[in-house]
Structure 1
Amino acid sequence: MRFPKIWLLRHGQTEWNAERRIQGQLESPLTPLGVQHARRQAALMAPVMAQSPACYASPLGRAQQTADIALGGAPFVTDPRLAEAFAGDFQGMTLDEVAAQYPQVHGNNPRNLDLFCEAPGGEGYDSFHGRILDFMQSLTGPSVVVAHGLLGQVMRGIVCGLSRDRMAALPNGQGCVYVLENVAETVLE
C-alpha cells in the first residue's frame, strides 16, 4: 500500500513520560526538555514548512503544544483519529503499578504497544490500527503529522509493511522527525 510522503513528529517529553506513567488519552504537559524537543523539531522542519504542506495533529494537549512550536506557528488540522491509543484501566498508572496490579498482562506484553492494547477496558490493537489506517488513506498529498509514540510505531509500521511485533520494537524518539516515503523511513535528528 502506498501513501503520500509523511513527516511524523512525536510530541516532546511530558511530565508523565518522565515518571513512566501511562498517558493514553489523558493529559500531561510538556516538560522543559519536551519544549526543547519541539524546538529541535522546529529547526528540522523549517525547510519542509516553507513548502506549506498539509499539517495534522492529535487533539491531545501534548501534541497540540508540540505542533504549535514545531510547525513554527503554521496552521494545522486537529484530527481525532491521531489520538494516542486508549489504554483503559492502565491510564494514569505507572508501568511499575501495572506490573504489580496486572502481573500476567504485564508479563505477557513486554512492549508498550502490546501492553497498552491489552489494557482492560482499552481500545485494543485492531481498533487502534484501523483508525490510523483510515487517517492515512484519507491523505491526498505530502503531510506533516504531530502525534504520539505508539500511534507513530503503528503508522511507521504500516508504511514500511512491518508485522505488529516489529512495529512494537520500533524506537520512539522525541525531538526527531520520521520521514515516511516509498515503503521506508528515514530519521531527521
Structure 2
Amino acid sequence: MSHYPDLLILRHGETEWNRSGRMQGEQDSPLTDTGRAQARRQGALLAEFGCDGYRWFSSPQGRAWHTAKLASPSGAAITPDARLAEIATGAWTGLEFADIRAQAPHLFVRDDSLSWYDHAPGGEGLASVAIRTRAFLDALTGPAVVVTHGITSRILRCHLLDQPWEMFETLEGGQGVIYHLSKRHQQRLS
C-alpha cells in the first residue's frame, strides 16, 4: 500500500523541440509561447486547488524549472532535484522522432508503446528512472508539488498508484497538465 503524501505532479509546458518532434531527454529547449501559457494556467489551477503547505520540487532541467517558476502561484521556494529529470536518451537526443523510427522500426510495432525509450543507444533506461523516482518519493516528508517530464511523471505516478513501474505506458501524458495523487488515486486537474 502506498504510504506517500499527497502530490501534485506537473509536466512542463510545450517546448520548441516538443513542437518540432525532437527527442529532448537530458537536453533542453526553451518553452514556446504555448508552453509559457500552459505553465501560467497550471499556476491558476494550483491557486484554485490550494497548495499551501506543499513543498515545491522541480527537475533542474530548464523546461521544467521555467515551468515551475511560472506556475508557482505565490512565488514558493522551489528545490531542484536531479531525481526528477527526464530519462536520458543517449544517441537519440536531438533527433526527430521520425529518424529514431527509421533507425529502429522494430521498436515501433505498436503506435501506443513507449517502451522504445528503454532501447536508446547510450541512454539511461527505464529501470534507472524507476529507482531514482522511488528514492525521491521515499525521501518526502509531506505534501509536495513536483514539476517534471513526461516519462518521469508516468513512472512517479505508477509508484504512487501502487502499480509496477512497467505499467507507465498505460498512464496518460500531456503537456502542461497537473495530476493530483492522493491515497492511490489520481485526478487530472487540467
Same fold (TM over 0.5): yes
- TM-score of the pair, normalised by structure 2: 0.92
Distance in 1 separating the partners of 2:154 and 2:47: 24
1:1-189 correspondence runs (5 A): 1-48=2-49, 51-72=52-73, 73-107=75-109, 111-112=113-114, 114-189=115-190
Distance 2:63 2:84 in 1: 12
Q: How large is the Cα RMSD of the aligned pairs? A: 1.7
Deviations 1:70-118 (A, max 9, x none): 0132211000111000111111111100011222334478523x12222
Q: Percent identity?
A: 37
> Quick one: distance in 2 between partners of 1:90 and 1:107?
18
Structure 2, unmatched stretches of 5+, are none
Give the whole-Å Cα distance in 1 for the aligned partners of 2:139 and 2:51. Answer: 23
Change (3 A) 1:63 1:17: same
User: SS in structure 2 opposite 1:84?
Assistant: coil
Verify the 8 A CA contact 1:21 1:92 in the aligned structure 2.
Answer: yes
TM-aligned CA deviation for residue 163 of structure 1: 3.6
Aligned pair count?
188
Instruction: Indicate the SS of the match to 1:56.
Output: strand
CA distance in 2, matches of 1:57, 1:50: 15
Q: Unaligned regions of 5+ residues in structure 1, if any?
A: none
Q: Indicate how the Cα distance of structure 1 residues 159 and 50 shifts in structure 2: closer, same or farther if over 3 A, else same.
A: closer
